[in-house]
Every structure is written in structure tokens, then in C-alpha cells.
Amino acid sequence: MSEHPRTEPATPGATPATAGAAAPATATATVTATATATATGRAHAAEAARRDREDPLAGTRERFVVDAVDDPNGTVYLDGNSLGALPRGVPARMADVIEREWGRDRINSWSDNHWWTAPERIGDRVGALVGAAPGQVVVGDSTSVNVLKAVVAGVRLARGAEGAEQAGADAAQAGGRDEILVDVSTFPTDGYIAESAARLTGCALRAVPAEAVATEATPRTALALVNHVDYRTGRLHDLPGTTAALHAVGAVAVWDLCHSAGALPVDLDAHGVDLAVGCTYKYLNGGPGAPAYLYVAARHQPRFDSPLPGWNSHADPFAMAGAYAPADGAVRGRVGTPDILSMLALESALDAWQGVSVESVRAKSLDLADFFLACVASYVPAGAVETLTPVAHAERGSQVALRCADAGEVTERLLACGVVIDYRRPDVLRFGFTPLYTGYADVERAAWALGEVLSAA
């Protein structure tokens, strides 16, 4: 499908940014196209081929089920920011899980094949990619469920004693922390759940621009929920600075890493982040509906009070006790029985990262986007698109968002040309770059196809 099943409203306050090889680092303006595609021909094709030959990550493409980068009839897949490509090792691993572990070993697999400890084991592997030391990330549930856990538990942490939240009016009268901040352009589900969490904890919810969270937080702020990368525009927000500012007023920082984990260094521990959540089906290539993850900094784990205590997070789950006693460590973030099939598919998918650093992925991501913008400037008719993604590397995730009239129709026409992207209503085309399998020829061909489609419009 050209549009992700979850559709979103336009981002308030989104501003266009200049794209192109020589674009200023902070300017926001209409893309300037130097010439139409029909006038210049494939001016960047040879450069793309050279870059692919010299790419130190070129070999990792073979770890995924994607067409060869030099196949003119193959599909260009630039939608990994919605659903990552299938790692080649996953089908065989899943066949073994189903036929041997489930089929023959059956219930013994919880111990013999280590199913029971999978959430923490795989969590540590995800943690390594987001800068978290072992024992702080647990895999399981959806991002939405983990947002609820993190926000409610985060308010409880900010208020001090475990479970000490009061009704909203009482909290206000006592001068307590009675406010949750959420970035105004957040992914809708985060906003919905933050609103519900505010009701559960007696807080008011206040939406502010992500870049203003640092200055809007006050001693009344319990917590801020911020997206590390804006899902529509690809803007990268200031995680270190915002986290430090929240801590300065005694508030808790919760980060949504859905569009940054596996795309760029996050360094949760180094920046003192309190809580974080994220999905694994985008840049981590875990598969459709793959389980999400929850990060709880080690310093907070003894007081992490989940609003969803389940038998899997009990200190002695098989005692079947009537009273809840939370387990120690990251296990406290679990709820119910792990979704083993999708979890083990994710574990296999993470093998694609063997020998690859997040830093090398980030370097290629930035280079791919720069090259793509240069190609767009050459191939796309002047004034046909605007770049919403910041040009400055420090402010960019791993996607380029272009504002374009008739974005839905353009997306379908690109698909007919063998270029897979997605769009966000009403007018945003999203081109996602997953450096483990995206090549320079892919982005050059995508820009060329976009130019052809818009020239024919």
C-alpha cells in the first residue's frame, strides 16, 4: 500500500527547507531545480554507480531480500521508515522455531530453547543499538502499550514515592507536579495515550513544539514525551539538550525512538535519558507487527511502577500469588506472555547488524540523503516540490520528506515505475533511507522517476 495503515493529520507549523547540493544548512525555502530531467538526462547515474562500488556497507545489502542495486527492472524500496525489508536469515530461523522448537519441543522450549528469557536477551541486543548497557531494555508489547507504561510510571517517578500520584485538583493544591508535556507534532497514538495517561495520573496535558520543550518545562512539569525524529518531516530533535533541560526542573524525559533506532546513534545512557520506547519493524527490520521495546534506566528500575503489572513481571511468576510483587530489573517492564514467534523473528533479523556500527550507518544515511537532494534538484521541475526535512545534518533523521501537490497520486505513479515510498496526507512524500540495504543507485533512480512523473503531470 502506498499509505501506511495509520494515517496522520498535517503537522502544525511545518516549514519547507531548501534541498540541493549547495543548499544552506539552516535555510527553509522552495527546492530549486537546476533543470528538468528531460533536459539533463541521467546526470547522476554514473556518480551513483561509483559511490555504490566504493560503499563500505554495500555488502550488507545481500543480507536482505531486495533487488540488486544495478537491476534496472528491479524495485527501489525506500519505505524502510515504515516497514524494513526482510533479512534473508529470518525464514529459515522461523521454520526451525515452528517445526522444531514449537513442533517437537513444544512447552519445553520455554526453558530448553530459552523462550522465557527472550524479552531481556533480545532487549540487550536492541539496547546495544541505542546506547543502553545490558539489563535496561525489555522487548515486548506494542509501542503504544509501552508509551502508556513509560508515561504513567514516569509521572510516578517524578512525583517521588512509588505510586504517590494524587487526583489532579489535590496535586495542584499541593503544588505538585501536575503537567505532562507532549510535542505538538507527535505521532497521533503517542498523543492519544499521553492524554489517557494524564487522566490516569491527574495531570494536565500540554502540547508544545518539540524544540520548545526545553524552555516550556517548569517545576510543575512531571514529564515530557518527545519523538526523537518527527515521523512526517524527518526532523531530528535535540535529545541531549532537551533531556538536560527537563532534569534541570526535576522532570522526567521519555523519548519515542521509532524513527531513530537503527538509523542513528541515540546514546541513551550517555545522555541520561530516563525512559524510552520504540518499535522494531522500521530500521531494525523486525517484520510487520514486530514487538516494541521499553528502556528503563538502571537508576530508576527499583522505583519503576508500571500501570500494567502482569504475571510476567512478578518477582515469582509461577507462585501465582494473589498479591503483586514486582521483579527486579528490566523484567519489571513485562506484562503478559511474550509473543514468541514475532520476537524470535526479530532476534534473527538483528543478525543483519553483525559487524556494522550505528555510526557507519549514520554516515551513509546522511550521504544518501545529500545525494538524493542533489538528484532532486537536477531532475525535478523547478517549484514542483518543497523539502520539509532540515538540510543540516544535526537536525535530520534518515528520511527526506517532500511537499508535493497530489502526493497520493504521485506515490501511486512512482510505484508503477518500480519505486516504493509512502506519503502522509495531505501532501507529503516520504523517502526513507535504510543504509544496510539502500544504495546510491536506488536514490538516483527514485529522484529520476520523481522528475519524470512530475514533468508529465
Could you confirm whether 64 is annotated as catalytic? no
Give the dihedral of Cα atoms 333, 339, 341, 347; nearest 10 deg: -10
Measuring CA to CA, which residue among 443, 456, 457 is closest to residue 377?
443
DSSP string, 18-46: --STT--SS---B---SS-HHHH-STTHH
DSSP string, 317-359: GGG--SS--BPSGGGGG--SS--HHHHHHHHHHGGGGTT--HH
Pairing of strands 179-183, 137-139: unpaired
- Read off the C-alpha cell for 368: 544518501
Helices 440-456 & 358-379, crossing angle to 10 degrees?
30
Per DSSP, which regions of 94-145 are E strands?
137-139
Of 51, 220, 396, 430, catalytic: 430
Of 77, 187, 371, 437, catalytic: 187
Of 178, 190, 256, 274, catalytic: 256
Could you confirm whether 362 is annotated as catalytic? no
Could you confirm whether 256 is annotated as catalytic? yes
The C-alpha atoms of residue 418 and residue 420 are separated, in whole angstroms, by 6
Strand partners, 423: 429
The C-alpha atoms of residue 457 and residue 405 are separated, in whole angstroms, by 10
Of 177, 282, 334, 413, catalytic: 282
Could you confirm whether 192 is annotated as catalytic? no
Pairing of strands 399-404, 385-387: antiparallel
Could you confirm whether 149 is annotated as catalytic? no
> Could you tell me the end-to-end alpha-carbon distance of the chain, in angstroms, rounded to an integer?
22
Per DSSP, which regions of 350-453 are E strands?
385-387, 399-404, 419-420, 422-424, 428-432
| 128 close to 347: Cβ distance less than 8 angstroms | no
DSSP string, 197-228: HHHHHT-EEEEE-GGGHHHH--TTEEEEEEES
Helices 188-201 & 143-158, crossing angle to 10 degrees?
40
Q: Which residues contact 326 (CB under 8 A, 6 or more apart)?
A: 304, 305, 306, 309, 313, 314, 315, 332
Measuring CA to CA, which residue among 389, 374, 396 is closest to residue 448?
374
Per DSSP, which regions of 34-157 are E strands?
76-77, 137-139
Q: Which residues contact 427 (CB under 8 A, 6 or more apart)?
A: 10, 403, 404, 405, 406, 407
**Catalytic site residues?**
187, 256, 281-282, 430
